[in-house]
Amino acid sequence: EDQVTQSPEALRLQEGESSSLNCSYTVSGLRGLFWYRQDPGKGPEFLFTLYSAGEEKEKERLKATLTKKESFLHITAPKPEDSATYLCAALSGGGADGLTFGKGTHLIIQP
């Protein structure tokens, strides 16, 4: 069974304090690893797609990286508006085309 595990469950940082969120995955034949951001009361918003180990993607203060077993979302000098729940998802080659999501990391950036 495909599994995606995110850690930590929650993270509180001071504005400007850089950190990383972890996503470890166990899927059969990874076809893609995805990061989403979800604000309270909203649907998830797509951030990045990573296809192969060693790949990196950047957007503003966020950088996503991928290894053969995990992905990291690095947040550099975060601002309060970066506060959200960050979701990691994997698409496997095992059959169903639905994404397998982790439970997310709830990130709070304090001014």
Partner 1 sequence: DSGVTQTPKHLITATGQRVTLRCSPRSGDLSVYWYQQSLDQGLQFLIQYYNGEERAKGNILERFSAQQFPDLHSELNLSSLELGDSALYFCASSVEASGRTGELFFGEGSRLTVL
Chain residues binding partner 1 by CB under 8 A are 31-34, 41-46, 49, 87, 89, 91, 95-104
Give whichever of 17 and 106 is closer to partner 1, judged by the CB atom.
Answer: 106
Task: Provide the token pair at 105.
Answer: 């990391």
Q: How far is the CB of 85 from partner 1 (least distance, A)?
A: 10
**Integer Cα distance of 64 and 45 in angstroms:** 15
Give whichever of 45 and 58 is closer to partner 1, judged by the CB atom.
Answer: 45
Residue 15 contacts residue 60 (beta carbons within 8 Å): no
Q: How far is the CB of 92 from partner 1 (least distance, A)?
A: 11
Give whichever of 32 and 72 is closer to partner 1, judged by the CB atom.
Answer: 32
**Integer Cα distance of 42 and 98 in angstroms:** 20
